[in-house]
Structure 1
Amino acid sequence: MPIISLPMYDIHHPTTLGLTSALTTLLTQRGLQAEVEWPIALLPHWRDDKLLLSQTCGYPLVALLPDVQLVGAFQSSAQGCEGLRYRSWLVARKEDENLTLSDYRGRRAVCNSDDSHSGYNSLRYVIAPLASAGNFFSETLLSGSHRQSLAALREQRADIAAIDCITWALLRAHYPEELSGLEIIGETPLCAALPLITSLKTDAETLAHLRSALSELTTSKKYQQLLAQSLISGFSVPERAFYDEVQAWEDQAAEQGVTAL
């Protein structure tokens, strides 16, 4: 059976369950049956031929998933988002709230993973002009998730992180204790919002039904409370070239000698 999932902003699981339930209902109304999946390993999930709908990050889309089809992207009402773009907040402990990014030379960074745009690619992009011989931080810890990166900051195992602004807003709404003692000290530029994808094997008619269901989800009054809880304010279908800027950030950092954090 085809599978769907919304793994990227599953901060408040009951809300994510509500979204996936609404989507399966809307897809059923269009003659599409799907099973909700909660993947642990995301790359195999995104590459699954049975994938009807999932959400990935812009960096895997351009670097690791050349064969998936772009369905579209959600717009977000979270602070830091504009239209189909979002940014990362540069986050540190409150004791360092008056520092700027340049003050973190030789200190410790933490990132969720090295295939993340919001946590890794965007941080690499903003430190590149400040780096010397390709280096800026003394070390970089890979935590596994934005929430674990925030824990590393709180526990003084690292000093700075780039945190997806939507994740930050959802944590502030549902788990504010995870932001305790932390402050935003800066921000990255805006970049393309997280893409919704489907398998290359999804036919054109099914793709049209997917986009129709997502449009109804984000415009029907029936789902407005659910959308507000998810900070989703709309759905749009950009060209795949919209995500070229994600690759451009990596390329520009490399031109300045920074290929890794």
Structure 2
Amino acid sequence: MLIRKQPLAIRELFQFSRFRRIFSIVPFSTKHTLLFRMPVMPTFLACSRLYNAAPRHAQAWNELFHEIGRLSGLSLRTVDWAAPARLEELWARPDLGMAFLCGRPYLQAGARHRIIAAPLTSESGERPVYRTLLLARASSGWNRIEDSFGSRLGRMPAHSQSGYNALRFMLAPYAGADLLYAESVELETPADCVRALQESRVDVIPLDSFFHLLLADEYPELGRRLVILGASPFTSMPFLAGSPELAPHAVRALRDALELWSLSPAYEDIRKALCLRGFAFPSPADYAALAVQEAEALRLGYPCPA
């Protein structure tokens, strides 16, 4: 944006000491005007798609992003990026500011994304961790993982930690020469998995435990219609990620804002709506266990949940 101002004396001009480096000063006399270019603040994308378990949650995440933008002084634009839009395309954007990114695609992309923060949920203790739950309909009468063998498995794409890698790790010890399930159906999102289970298109599904927590909080009757057959070990949560190009000062500003948001009583209602206690700040090393799970499943000869 190019702005034209009325003539200023030199001494008046340099009173704007904060902005000396961003002004483009044109030599002038009292008959000339001063031209300077105002900096354009970049806008970064924010997205909560992984944890939009219900419309109310999407709205609460949007409120959170709005407050983080205000507290950090950064411009954040919330995007839905609803399926069938590909998450890989969102995660690859250079203007990514804070969007939930699963640990598995983070590792697959070379662990280059900026880790902003990860949720602390009611089940995670002092560390931002979660696990995969294996769910079936309560009407099945099943109560063990083995009870589901021979039925129809719903699973998520290979980029998913909770819906693919952790599931494969859970099932690998049972694998042998034969397939465990009569059918393996790929489903795009956690919501798709739950819907397919409810509609009896599949008989057993994996589900991110934080997504399950949000879902059960919004739809208590759903929890009564589903049964948990097993759970994977806890691993580090999907985190709010910035692009690899996100400047360090922007990362610091977002982290500081999330820390303030986590501690302030003013945001207790939003934290309650999202089943959150706040946010923590994991390191890249915390996600190494995900690669260990993959290696173990492959060692046991179980390359794909089926």
The answer, yes or no, to whether TM exceeds 0.5 is: yes
Q: Distance in 1 between matches of 2:45 and 2:190?
A: 25
* Higher radius of gyration, 1 or 2: 2
2-side partners of 1:75 and 1:188: how far apart?
18
Q: Does 1:47 align with 2:92?
A: yes
Matched residue, 2:208: 164
User: Among 224, 240, 243, which residue is 1:196 paired with?
Assistant: 240
User: Is contact 2:131-2:208 (8 Å) kept?
Assistant: yes
Partners of 2:46 and 2:88 lie apart in 1 by 14
- Tell which deviates more after alignment, 107-116 or 171-180: 171-180
Q: Relative to structure 1, is the Cα distance of residues 224 and 134 closer, same or farther in structure 2, using a 3 angstrom cutoff?
A: farther
Cα deviation, 1:201-242, whole Å, max 9, x if unaligned, reads: 111111100101111121111101110110111211121010
Runs of at least 5 residues in structure 2 that lack an aligned partner in the other structure: 1-42
Residue 116 of structure 2 aligns with which residue?
Answer: 71
Give the Cα–Cα distance (whole angstroms) in 2 for the partners of residues 242 and 178 of structure 1: 32
TM (norm. structure 1) is: 0.91
Partner of 1:112: 156
- Equivalenced residue count is 259
Unmatched tracts of structure 1, length 5 or more: none
1:37 correspondence with 2:82: no
Cα deviation, residue 180, structure 1: 5.6
Secondary structure of the 2:49 match is coil
Q: Whole-Å Cα distance in 2 between the matches of residues 97 and 23 of structure 1?
A: 42
Deviations 1:123-157 (A, max 9, x none): 11011011013732222111222222122222222
Mapped pair 1:19 → 2:61:
yes
1:247 pairs with 2:291: yes
> C-alpha separation between the residues in 1 aligned to 2:198 and 2:46?
34
1:75 is displaced (CA, Å) by 0.9
Matches of 1:210 and 1:29, distance apart in 2: 8
Q: Are residues 1:90 and 2:138 paired? A: no
Residue identity matched to 1:126: M
Which digits, 9 at most, give the CA deviation of each residue in 1:87-121, with x for residues without a partner?
A: 12211121334441123333221013332111211
> In structure 2, do the counterparts of structure 1 residues 30 and 151 end up closer, same or farther at CA, with 3 Å as the change threshold?
closer
Could you state the TM-score of these two structures normalised by the residue count of structure 2?
Answer: 0.78
Which digits, 9 at most, give the CA deviation of each residue in 1:28-73, with x for residues without a partner? 3433112111113211111100111111111111123633221121
Match of 1:34, SS? strand
**Higher mean C-alpha displacement, 242-251 vs 86-95:** 86-95
Report the alpha carbon displacement of residue 179 of structure 1 after superposing the two structures with TM: 4.6
After superposition, the Cα gap between the structure-2 partners of 1:13 and 1:151, relative to the gap in structure 1 and judged at 3 Å, is: closer
* Deviation per residue, 1:132-190 (Å, 9 max, x gap): 13732222111222222122222222221111122112112213454563211221111
Q: Is the CA contact 1:97–1:184 (under 8 Å) kept in the aligned structure 2?
A: no
**Percent identity, aligned pairs only?**
24
Equivalents in 1 of 2:256, 2:59: separation in Å? 20
Q: 2:177 aligns with which of 133, 136, 143?
A: 133
Name the SS for the 2:112 alignment partner. Answer: coil
Contact 1:134 1:257 in 2 (8 A): no
Relative to structure 1, the CA distance from residue 30 to residue 181 in structure 2 (aligned partners, 3 Å threshold; closer, same or farther) is closer
Aligned residue in 1 for 2:23: none
Q: Larger relative contact order (C-alpha < 8 A, sep ≥ 6)?
A: 1
Bigger mean CA offset, 3-12 vs 215-224: 3-12
Asked if the contact 2:51/2:57 (under 8 Å) is kept, the reply is no
Cα distance 1:165–1:221, how it changes in 2: closer, same or farther (>3 A)? same
Distance 1:180-1:155 versus aligned 2 partners, 3 A rule: farther
SS state at 2:72 partner:
coil
RMSD: 1.9
In structure 2, what is the Cα distance between the partners aligned to 1:134 and 1:192?
A: 32
